[in-house]
Structure 1
């Protein structure tokens, strides 16, 4: 096997090993960055929904207090307001979703689905847990879910949700007596759940990873070409000249000119040793002739 081929095989093998390691690390970094971006978007949606809830409770509900005494107005309910605003956003960004899912909601449309029930169960099993981040697969691709629990800490909530007899009559007229009752202090009754698609950021991360690998491959090819040129000029050609000269000397061509030595590297040292050997051989041949 020729020296150039051995050199290129070693270089290509080392590059492939290095590229594989770099790809693994780069993929983890790219996917982590994409996930952080999606989680930031989910946090912003959660903060927006929480702000709408707070505004509704502190500003809207007091203004409509008199009307609420005779007719139940969903506009005064923080949950209804937050989800109504979220649905407006979802019309422009249908892959994004915000829901206040409950196991036993007053409004049946807020009832938790199976996977939402699982998230609520996580909060019910761990009273100290205040946030949960997870992922789930959908037909459109992976989705990140960011959730916070609804835990009953204010006895005022039980005014509407303890028993149907204690609830405002207008609310019973609107939703009936079969939903949203029996809540207990300290109980996790539901969760705020934000869903944000991950496919676009992941695709972008994969594109960036591919661009990085292609750039590394291009740089390697350029370096390999330059190293092959250097190998040819500095190593292979001088060795080929020495080999041809040695063959002529071995065939009796003692008049062969000495090998021209340039530099102080190993090849130059080999050339000087070759010249010294040729001189010694010539002297030995002269002694034999005499």
Structure 2
């Protein structure tokens, strides 16, 4: 089949094959690069959020808690504003009202929390245990599969770093009365100083991580395809003007010469391979004409 195709068709077939291979391989490479870049962008934003929540926790612990702590013994209900984790979560929920953070989620997953809302599930509990077993592990990043889809998460350990935390989490006897009235005496006790009790976790649906990468991938591949098509058109135009058209004319000249028409001549001004071939063809025509004249002269004699 290829043997019957013209040179231009064969060239276009070759260029089309190269185009498909380049777009396919570039698409795979670009996809990986853009996915890594999108993941890094999300990671940087999540790390910033965790750092911010850490600052909120410190502010609550150092500034808010000392002011409200005396009221914990007199209030009928516990004041959650004294808890650093509560403040961090409330600030984060307010932050989620902004479109760029709407899909982010924050949880202080705790093995034995006072408020069961913060109870770590099995997956989160395993992460906390990793932090407990490996003191040098300061953060963990990865993907988690859920029924609703995969999520990308970043986790950092929560440790008991201040004595004030033990007031509410050491024993029920030491806990404020309002805390016991609100949450009971079964959960959130037995914590020890410097113990890792949970993990701060920021998560976002994995589809959001790669959506931007896919959009950029489509744009980049589209631009690359346009430039490749332009290159193919320019190569076709160049080859048509410099090779295929001259070869077609030389083939027509050779056909006419073979039928005895010696009046034709092919002119090609360039000194490239086509020009050399054209000059050789013209010399061959002249030599053939001289030979034929000699034969005719001998025949007349």
TM-score in terms of structure 1 length? 0.90
Task: Say whether 1:278 aligns with 2:289.
Answer: no
**Structure 1 residues 236-272: Cα deviation after superposition (integer angstroms, max 9, x where no partner):** 221112112112222223x333321211111111001
Match of 1:108 among 89, 101, 116: 116
Q: Which residue of 1 aligns with 2:85?
A: 79
Q: TM-score, normalised by structure 2?
A: 0.87
Choose the corresponding residue for 2:31, options 19, 27, 31: 27
Match of 2:181 in 1: 173
RMSD: 2.2
Corresponding position of 1:41: 45
Question: What is the CA deviation profile of residues 166-189 of structure 1, one whole-angstrom value per residue up to 9, with x for unaligned ones?
Answer: 333432233222111222444321
Report the alpha carbon displacement of residue 233 of structure 1 after superposing the two structures with TM: 2.0
Which runs of 5 or more structure 1 residues have no equivalent in the other structure?
none
SS at match of 1:177: coil
Name structure 2 gaps, 5 residues minimum: none
The answer to whether structure 1 residue 12 and structure 2 residue 16 are counterparts is yes
1:126 aligns with 2:130: no
| 1:80 partner SS | helix
Q: Which moved more, 1:35-44 or 1:169-178?
A: 169-178
Distance 1:148 1:9 in 2: 56
Q: Which SS does the other structure have where 2:153 is aligned?
A: strand
Offset from partner CA, 1:19-62 (integer Å, 9 cap, x none): 12211121112111211121122122212211111111111112
Aligned residues: 289
Q: What is the 5 A alignment of 1:125-164?
A: 125-138=133-146, 141-154=149-162, 156-164=164-172
Question: Which secondary structure does the structure 1 equivalent of 2:198 belong to?
Answer: strand
Correspondence list, 1:55-70, <5 A: 55-70=59-74
For 1:185 and 1:97, the matched residues in 2 are separated by 28
Distance 1:279 1:167 in 2: 115
